[in-house]
Protein backbone atom coordinates (compact mmCIF):
# COMPACT_ATOMS: atom_id res chain seq x y z
CA UNK A 1 0.00 0.00 0.00
CA UNK A 2 1.42 3.36 -1.06
CA UNK A 3 0.45 6.06 1.49
CA UNK A 4 1.30 8.81 -1.02
CA UNK A 5 -1.64 7.83 -3.18
CA UNK A 6 -4.86 9.71 -2.42
CA UNK A 7 -6.88 6.63 -3.38
CA UNK A 8 -4.52 4.25 -1.59
CA UNK A 9 -7.27 2.77 0.59
CA UNK A 10 -9.32 1.92 -2.49
CA UNK A 11 -6.32 0.37 -4.21
CA UNK A 12 -5.46 -1.53 -1.05
CA UNK A 13 -8.94 -3.05 -1.06
CA UNK A 14 -8.57 -4.09 -4.71
CA UNK A 15 -5.14 -5.52 -3.89
CA UNK A 16 -6.62 -7.52 -1.04
CA UNK A 17 -9.32 -8.84 -3.36
CA UNK A 18 -6.80 -10.04 -5.92
CA UNK A 19 -4.64 -11.53 -3.19
CA UNK A 20 -7.67 -13.43 -1.94
CA UNK A 21 -8.46 -14.73 -5.45
CA UNK A 22 -4.87 -15.90 -5.90
CA UNK A 23 -4.97 -17.76 -2.59
CA UNK A 24 -8.33 -19.44 -3.19
CA UNK A 25 -8.56 -19.71 -6.95
CA UNK A 26 -11.92 -20.04 -8.62
CA UNK A 27 -14.97 -17.92 -9.33
CA UNK A 28 -16.74 -19.53 -6.37
CA UNK A 29 -14.38 -17.97 -3.86
CA UNK A 30 -14.66 -14.62 -5.64
CA UNK A 31 -18.46 -14.65 -5.34
CA UNK A 32 -18.18 -15.71 -1.70
CA UNK A 33 -15.68 -12.96 -0.98
CA UNK A 34 -17.82 -10.22 -2.52
CA UNK A 35 -20.94 -11.60 -0.83
CA UNK A 36 -19.33 -11.48 2.61
CA UNK A 37 -17.73 -8.11 1.86
CA UNK A 38 -21.10 -6.61 0.94
CA UNK A 39 -22.77 -8.31 3.90
CA UNK A 40 -20.11 -6.85 6.20
CA UNK A 41 -20.70 -3.35 4.81
CA UNK A 42 -24.47 -3.73 5.08
CA UNK A 43 -24.23 -4.83 8.72
CA UNK A 44 -21.88 -1.94 9.56
CA UNK A 45 -24.20 0.51 7.78
CA UNK A 46 -27.28 -0.80 9.59
CA UNK A 47 -25.57 -0.67 12.98
CA UNK A 48 -24.33 2.86 12.32
CA UNK A 49 -27.75 3.90 11.01
CA UNK A 50 -29.59 2.56 14.06
CA UNK A 51 -27.04 4.19 16.38
CA UNK A 52 -27.49 7.58 14.72
CA UNK A 53 -31.26 7.14 14.83
CA UNK A 54 -31.29 6.34 18.55
CA UNK A 55 -29.00 9.30 19.28
CA UNK A 56 -31.31 11.60 17.30
CA UNK A 57 -34.34 10.19 19.16
CA UNK A 58 -32.66 10.91 22.50
CA UNK A 59 -31.62 14.44 21.50
CA UNK A 60 -34.94 15.56 19.98
Q: Note the pLDDT tens digit of each residue in 35-54.
A: 888 888 888 899 888 888 88
Calpha distance 44→14 (Å, rounded): 20
Would 32 be classed as within a structural domain? Answer: yes
Would 50 be classed as within a structural domain? Answer: yes
**pLDDT score of 10:** 58
Calpha distance 11→5 (Å, rounded): 9
Would 13 be classed as within a structural domain? Answer: yes
Would 3 be classed as within a structural domain? Answer: no
* pLDDT mean over 10-34: 70
The number of distinct structural domains making up the chain is: 1
Indicate the pLDDT class of residue 56, thresholds 50, 70 and 90.
Answer: confident
Indicate the pLDDT class of residue 3, thresholds 50, 70 and 90.
Answer: very low
CA distances from 29 to 2, 8, 18, 42, 47 (A): 27, 24, 11, 20, 27
Calpha distance 11→13 (Å, rounded): 5
Domain that holds residue 35: 8-59
- Pair 30, 21: CB distance under 8 Å: yes
Would 41 be classed as within a structural domain? Answer: yes
**pLDDT score of 60:** 72
Amino acid sequence: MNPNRIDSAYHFEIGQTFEFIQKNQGINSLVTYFFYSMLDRLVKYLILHSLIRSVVMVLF
